[in-house]
Amino acid sequence: MVDQSRTGKIGIFDSGYGGLTVMRKIVDVLPQYHYLYLGDNARAPYGNRSFEAVYHYTLEAVNWLFSQGCELVILACNTASAKALRQIQQTDLPLRNDGKNVLGVIRPTTEFIGSLTQTGSVGILGTAGTVKSDSYPIEIHKFFPNVKVSQEACPMWVYLVEHNHLEGDGADYFVNHNLENLLRKDAEIDTILLACTHYPLLLNTIKKFVPEGIKVVSQGEIVAERLVDYLIRHQEIERKLSLDSTREFTTTDDAETFNQHASLFFGEQIFAQQVVLGA
C-alpha cells in the first residue's frame, strides 16, 4: 500500500547537464525515490561566474526545488557546491526552519579521495570557479592533512562536453594540455579527481593521456554511496520521501534541446519540461 504521508522528492541541481552523471549513479543505487532534476541551462556554464552570481542562481534553484516538494536537494555541481553551499547552509536554511536540507558533492569526495593515494599526492581538475575557491585543498586537508593537493582549471572541457566533442583533435589538445600542466605541478600525483560533473564524459580521451599507474576518479559513485549513508543517518528526512520510483526532469532553457543532449549524460531518453524559476 502507498504511504500517503511520504510525498517528498529528492531534488538534484546542476548548472546544466553535468549533474545527470551524478543522478545516474544515485538512481542506480536508490531507485525507489522520487527525483526532480533541474538544469539551469539558460544560465550555464557557472564555471567562470562570480561568487555572488553563482550563489544567487543556486539559491533561486534550491528555493524552486523546495517549492516543488523536495525535502532534500543535492547540488550536483562542483561550482555551486564550492561557491554557494556554505552560505545556503549557514544563512538561508536556518531561516526556513522546516527540516529541508541541501548537500553538495565536495564533502563526500574529499572525505574519501585521500585514502586512494599511495604517494600522498592528489590532482584536482575542475572549473576556474571551483579551483579558485580552493574548496578541494581546504576540505581534503581537514581529513588528510599530509596529502599534497595540486589543482588545474580546465576552462575548455565543459564546452567540449556541451558541444559533444568528446573525442577527436580538439578534445585531445585541451585534455592533454591540462593534464600536462597538472602533472608538471607535482610529478608524484597518483590520483586525479574529476571535480566537475561534466568531465566523466571525457574519460576515454583523458585515459589516452594519463600515464599508467595514475587513478582517475569520478564523483558520481562516491556521492551516491554517501547519500545512502546520509539517508540511513537522517531518518527524519528519509521518512518523508516518496517511494514511487519517479524521475522528473526540468530545465530553464529549451526542453527539446535538453532532451537531445541529456541522454548522453544520463544514459537513457529523457523528457524534460521547461520551467521559469521564481515564478
- Binds ligand DGL (CB under 6 A): choice among 36, 44, 61, 103: 44
Give start and end residues of each alpha helix (H) in the chain: 19-29, 51-67, 78-83, 85-87, 93-96, 106-113, 128-133, 135-143, 157-162, 169-185, 203-209, 220-233, 235-238, 255-266
β-strand partners of 123: 150, 192
**Cα separation of 178 and 165, whole Å?**
16
CB of 3 to ligand DGL, least distance (A): 34
| Using rule CB under 6 A, residue 101 touches ligand DGL | no
Indicate the residue among 226 and 241 with the shorter CB distance to ligand DGL: 226
- Binds ligand DGL (CB under 6 A): choice among 58, 79, 101, 191: 79
Q: Which residues are catalytic?
A: 77, 196
Write out the H or E segment, with its range, that includes residue 102: strand 101-103
CB 238 within 8 A of CB 33: no
Contacting range for ligand DGL; rule: CB under 6 A; set: 23-31, 75-83, 142-150, 271-279: 75-83
Q: Peptide bond preceding 155: is omega within 30 degrees of 0, i.e. cis?
A: no
- Binds ligand DGL (CB under 6 A): choice among 78, 178, 218, 250: 78
Site for ligand DGL, residues 160 to 219, rule: CB under 6 A:
196-198
Distance between start and end Cα atoms, the chain: 35
| Using rule CB under 6 A, residue 261 touches ligand DGL | no
| Using rule CB under 6 A, residue 103 touches ligand DGL | no
Ramachandran angles phi, psi of 18, nearest 5°: -55, -35
Q: How far is CA 74 from the centre of its chain?
A: 8
| Using rule CB under 6 A, residue 77 touches ligand DGL | yes
| Using rule CB under 6 A, residue 46 touches ligand DGL | yes
| Using rule CB under 6 A, residue 21 touches ligand DGL | no
| Using rule CB under 6 A, residue 58 touches ligand DGL | no
- Residues binding ligand DGL (CB under 6 A): 14-16, 18, 44-47, 77-79, 127, 130, 158, 196-198
